[in-house]
Amino acid sequence: MSHMICLVCRGKADCTHYGVESCRACSSFFRRRVIECREIPQRCDGKCDITTSRRGSCAKCRFQKCLDVGMRISSVYSNLGKYGCLRLSENLFLTNPTTLLEQIQTAYQDLNSRRIMAFNIEGNSSRRFFNYQEMNQVLNTDFKIVMTSLLKFFEAITNPLDTEQKILLKRNFLLKFFLLDSGFLTKGNYELNLPNKNYMTFENINYFYSHENFGIAENAVRIMKSYWHRMGLSLVTDFGKAQIDLQEFLYLTALLYWDYGIQGQSQENLNTCKIMRSRVMKELSEYEMKKESQKDSSLRVGEVLLLLNTVQRALYLIEESRDISIVYNIYGLHYSMYDIMSV
């Protein structure tokens, strides 16, 4: 191991710490600063050269160097979970240099990169209608991608929970995130979007229930048409009116994950989610204050948060349609949406 070089101070590294070859001193420094969760004061021009002889001279630049070479904050939280719970506070995340929004945005970019590879998405590829078969195939794949990227990120930075509570948050999140993601992509168009860029219009339900060998499932069209129209009208109207940007979408994503009042949620889980939601709300409010400098930003915050109700209404319709589909033996046409509620 003597040939390894610490990527932070260029001294002798003993092994890989938090995803990067580094020395014990730099890895301990990084871990300590993450756990402290305090903003590091700026006492320089941000250009300090971090070496073995000067690594203790500027904590700000040293911590930034740790991040620049690839040390992962999430790995610190993950390792802490093996030895005991990290005590949560409202200042869990470092506001500088890494905000909660920036961390979520990185995770979302990772999700989209995985989607591009999984669905062979090209920048100039044309969109087309999808039917129920394609929806089930795409959602089954995408739910797995979300679980290994975005969901994994949320779990890593959340106070360690037992497996049952993690499953509860996952089950509550996945379908809601699909609805939020699709609503964000519609931009007011009367359609439902899949992660592979294809779509269905709520006016063309017949095509959605068509099969190349068996034709149109007339019974499904008759029973499910009203559910699709009501869901579409709600998503299209509310998201079209709000016209949220990417940052607002990401804050809503975080609020969907750190939900509370879920049946079976433990007190520890509930407290954790309340603390995290408080942090999200603080950043969202600050973001809107900067963006809406000449307006009442609280009105915009309220408009954005109302979309959580929109997603919940759409979810209620899906839950109701699931019960009806069992009665009329058409559950299998939408199994990807229904099964994910009980993963």
**Cβ pair 252, 139 in contact under 8 A:** no
Q: What are phi and psi of 218, to 5 degrees?
A: -60, -40
d(CA 208, CA 188): 20
The closest of 281, 205, 189 to 237, measured between CA atoms, is: 189
d(CA 143, CA 177): 10
Q: What are phi and psi of 273, to 5 degrees?
A: -65, -35
**pLDDT value at residue 267:** 92
DSSP per-residue letters across 316-341: HHHHHHHHHHHHTT-GGGGHHHHHGG
Half-sphere exposure of 7 (CA within 13 A, CB side): 17
**Cβ pair 192, 278 in contact under 8 A:** no
Half-sphere exposure of 182 (CA within 13 A, CB side): 29
**pLDDT value at residue 86:** 37
**pLDDT value at residue 213:** 75
**pLDDT value at residue 209:** 93
Half-sphere exposure of 319 (CA within 13 A, CB side): 11
**pLDDT value at residue 2:** 54
**pLDDT value at residue 183:** 92
Q: Which value, in Å, is the radius of gyration of the alpha carbons in the chain?
A: 23
Strands (E), 84-124: none
The closest of 180, 161, 164, 228 to 200, measured between CA atoms, is: 228
**pLDDT value at residue 38:** 65
Burial of 3 (0-12, 13-18, 19+ CB in 10 A): exposed
Domains and CATH numbers, the chain: 15-71 (3.30.50.10), 100-342 (1.10.565.10)
d(CA 275, CA 255): 11
d(CA 252, CA 299): 16
d(CA 191, CA 193): 6
**pLDDT value at residue 124:** 58
3-state secondary structure of 20: strand
Compute how many other C-beta atoms are within 10 angstroms of the C-beta atom of residue 177.
21
**Cβ pair 319, 312 in contact under 8 A:** no
d(CA 332, CA 217): 12
Q: What are phi and psi of 10, to 5 degrees?
A: 65, 20
**pLDDT value at residue 67:** 86
The closest of 273, 334, 336, 324 to 139, measured between CA atoms, is: 336
**Cβ pair 279, 100 in contact under 8 A:** yes
Q: What is the full per-residue pLDDT of the chain (343 aa) written as tens digits?
A: 457 888 998 888 888 888 888 998 898 888 888 766 666 777 787 788 888 777 677 888 898 888 888 887 766 755 554 333 333 333 333 334 368 888 898 899 889 889 988 888 765 567 889 999 999 999 999 999 999 999 999 998 887 888 999 999 999 999 999 999 999 988 778 888 999 889 998 888 999 999 877 778 899 999 999 999 999 888 989 999 999 999 999 999 999 999 999 999 999 999 999 999 999 999 999 999 988 766 788 899 999 999 999 999 999 999 999 999 999 999 999 999 999 987 6
Half-sphere exposure of 169 (CA within 13 A, CB side): 28
**Cβ pair 139, 247 in contact under 8 A:** no
Compute how many other C-beta atoms are within 10 angstroms of the C-beta atom of residue 343.
11
